[in-house]
Amino acid sequence: MAEIISGKALSKKIRQDVKNNVSDAIEKYGKAPHLAVVLVGEDPASQSYVRAKRRACEKAGILSTTILKPSSITEEELLEIVNSLNQDEDVHGILVQLPLPDHINEDRIIDAIDIHKDVDGFHPLNIAYLQLGREAIVPATPKGILTMLNSVNIELEGKDVLVIGRSNIVGKPVAALLMKNNATVTIAHSRTKNLTLKAQRADIIIAAVGKAKMVTADMVKDGAVVIDVGVNRVDGKLVGDVDFDEIAKKASYITPVPGGVGPMTITSLLQNTLICYERIMNND
Ligand code: GUN
């Protein structure tokens, strides 16, 4: 049976560390880190993520402001909000919850975020730094995945990793991060041929597709590590992208849904907010 990597338990520990660091930083700099979150529209999943982010900030001693705007907001109006947050000396992190409504050009909004306050690590310059292996703000989900792998001492060097999904939020940045850690990375996506064969060769599978149970036990080799990034609602229940019950019988490690990558994403966001704040306070 696979060992379960609990994102919930690991998050609890790390969030306590963040809380202690925040408290030390407040003493040192005289003000609290402050994350501004912009939520456009009323998508229930986005609302729930933003609520969870706010609660986690509050518990860690990080100030958080949520700016709610109707989906009728124009691109120019949203740009104005981002620009005013850029200029606000009391804001150290800016997160615009994605996806945005279709009439808004997401790229234009992300490009407008001050890179020093880019807690998501989605700014093209941050992504470029990550690809180059330079110091970067690492997007929260990939960062959380790496923290989970490190927490159980999974060696990445020379390992064959299959990333399923090529999104800008997870697939592409996690691949860059794994490469930086000397893994051999294959990125599969909706047009990939022979996915099963590729999966069967992988030492580590990272599933980030958004399709319930699309990774089945026959695709997983004995002793593989399986990281499930999927959050799918099936009959009112949250399920991941992998068939947890069957795969747990043959994998060495597996992450659950819920309680796996999800909480670690928020934990990484807290860490990134603290990093941005400290860099701003230190002027570097
Ligand atoms: N939507 C889904 N995940 C994320 C994330 O990590 N950051 C933002 N801004 N939007 C998201």
pLDDT in tens, 215-229: 999 999 999 999 999
The CB of 96 under 6 Å from ligand 1? The reply is yes
95 lines ligand 1 (CB under 6 A): yes
Encode burial over 108-127: b for 16+ CB neighbours within 10 A, e otherwise: ebbebbbbbbbbbbbbeebb
Q: Which residue pairs from 190-195 have beta carbons closer than 8 angstroms and sit at least 24 positions apart in sequence?
A: 195/164, 195/219
CB atoms within 10 A of CB 135: 8
Report pLDDT digits (tens) over 187-242. Answer: 999 999 999 999 999 999 999 999 999 999 999 999 999 999 999 999 999 999 99
Q: How far is the CA of 97 from the centre of ligand 1 (A)?
A: 5
- pLDDT digit string (tens) for 80-128? 999 999 999 999 999 999 999 999 999 999 999 999 999 999 999 999 9
Mutate to test the pocket of ligand 1, among 85, 120, 167, 269 (most ligand atoms within 8 A of CB): 120
Position 284 confidence tier, pLDDT thresholds 50, 70, 90: confident
- Nearest to 109, CA basis, from 96, 118, 120, 128: 96
The tokens describing 2, both together, are 């696979």
- Partners of 238 in the β-ladder: 233
Instruction: Go through the domains of the chain in sequence order and give each one's CATH number.
Output: 31-115 (3.40.50.10860), 140-262 (3.40.50.720)
Q: What percent of the chain has pLDDT over 90?
A: 99
CA distances from 124 to 101, 111, 138, 139, 169 (A): 20, 7, 12, 12, 12
Q: Give the alpha-carbon dihedral of 50, 53, 57, 62, to 10 degrees.
A: -60
Q: Is the CB of 97 under 6 A from ligand 1?
A: yes
- Residues tagged active-site: 53, 97, 120
Q: Is the CB of 140 under 6 A from ligand 1?
A: yes
Specify the residue with its C-alpha closest to ligand 1, atom 1.
98
Put simply, whether the predicted model's pTM sits higher than 0.85 gets the answer: yes
